Amino acid sequence: MADETEVPEDTLNDVGVLVRREIEARIVAPLIQRLGEEFGHDRVTELAREVVVEVAQGQGAVLAESLGANDLAAFMASLDNWTKGGALETEVVEESEEVFAFNVTRCKYAEMYKALDIPELGALFSCNRDATMIEGFNPNITFERTQTIMGGASHCDFRYTLTSGETPVEAPTSR
């Protein structure tokens, strides 16, 4: 009879996502750089993108499970992890049961990646997660963003919409 290994609870959000992303970037950026030199930057970057997307989708499912709900109200309440320490300055554009729309007017994530001299990896490590994280959280919520501060825009436009005619799906459970 094989022992089942339990994965410890992810408590890294206790420090806030901005600090978490900095820790990750300080380790992963040099690794991606070195692997790129060895195996080709394009291929290594694409593999890193795939992994980040997969991780984000799983984190979205875990977030829904930890909140016990996966509707827009629960998602809105979870944003404290991403804004902790003033990491994001936002303006809410619309907030209802079906739509949560806001603009990020200041992004310390973009500032941090620039300060670490890896602005090109900021979109990969952070912005790249947003769409697939919400898919894992609730596949009936669509995400749209047309611009980012990381990409040089004046603000990021986040738009989350519960698919018309759909109701939130039951929050996923693990095992």
Residue with tokens 């795939």: 50
pLDDT of residue 1: 47
pLDDT of residue 67: 93
Q: What is the pLDDT of residues 13-54, one digit of tens each?
A: 567 889 999 999 999 999 999 999 999 999 999 999 999 999
Q: How many helices (H) and strands (E) does the chain have?
A: 7, 4
> Total domain count for the chain?
1
Rounded distance between C-alpha atoms, residue 161 and residue 173, angstroms: 23
pTM: 0.82
In angstroms, how far is CA 91 from the centroid of its own chain? 18
User: Looking at residue 137, which CATH number applies to its domain?
Assistant: 3.30.1380
In a domain, 174, yes or no: no
For the chain, which ranges sit under pLDDT 50?
1-3, 7, 166-168, 171-175
In a domain, 113, yes or no: yes
In a domain, 170, yes or no: no
